[in-house]
A and B are shown apart, each in its own frame.
Chain A
Amino acid sequence: NAGVTQTPKFRILKIGQSMTLQCTQDMNHNYMYWYRQDPGMGLKLIYYSVGAGITDKGEVPNGYNVSRSTTEDFPLRLELAAPSQTSVYFCASSYSGGIYGYTFGSGTRLTVV
């Protein structure tokens, strides 16, 4: 059972470039989330989804977009990368809407230079 798979694991972007962080889960979870982790700040919610076709903003959505066309996939899009988006990004999924916690992916370390 793969769980939550994130790709890539590392990426360096130049300012203004775009990229998509991929996230796939094979547990048939309806709920999926994107968090970013900055040193000393814990994890902040960027976007979440409660099922295919339904997404909503979290605490820090500016500069990001998401889509959810299937239950399995929840990609995160950065359109115009900025240094402030340098962070570690975690995708997570949950079958229970979060009350039993999340299963996290292994993370993507993104540096914008």
Chain B
Amino acid sequence: AQKVTQAQTEISVVEKEDVTLDCVYETRDTTYYLFWYKQPPSGELVFLIRRNSFDEQNEISGRYSWNFQKSTSSFNFTITASQVVDSAVYFCALSEPMEYGNKLVFGAGTILRVKS
């Protein structure tokens, strides 16, 4: 079965620092999909990015960037010049085939606290 490990339980940084959230995954599938979700203090889950297993290009979206490395089974997330509004729980997730469709297997999450 798929497994997602987010070894960092909690990270605290000061505003404007860069921070990287680690995600390591395990799968035997050759085709799979990786995701990051953000859960701000209000509690909803917000989709950030999706990456398929055949696309190892890094992606940048504003202050956010993602580094996907199949060789190390990692899909790390970097926030540049962090802001207080980035404070949230961040989840990495991996698709797992079921009898019908796929489900997402989530890591335990990393709590990010950005202090002003």
With an 8 Å Cβ cutoff, the count of chain A residues facing the other chain is 29
Contact across chains for B43 and A97 when beta carbons are under 8 A apart: no
Interface residues of B (CB under 8 A from A): 4, 9, 33, 35, 37, 43-45, 47, 50, 52, 91, 93, 95, 98-104, 106-109
Query: B35, B37, B101: which contacts A31 (Cβ < 8 A)?
Result: B101
Contact across chains for B99 and A56 when beta carbons are under 8 A apart: yes
Residue of B nearest to A102 (CB): B104
A-B contact count (CB 8 A): 65
Interface residues of A (CB under 8 A from B): 31, 33, 35, 40-45, 48, 50, 54, 56, 58, 88, 90, 94, 96-104, 106-107, 109
What B residues does A94 contact at CB under 8 A? 101
17 A-B pairs besides A48-B103, A101-B93 with CB distance below 8 A are A33-B103, A40-B9, A42-B106, A43-B104, A45-B103, A50-B100, A56-B98, A56-B99, A58-B103, A88-B43, A94-B101, A98-B101, A100-B33, A101-B35, A101-B50, A104-B45, A106-B43
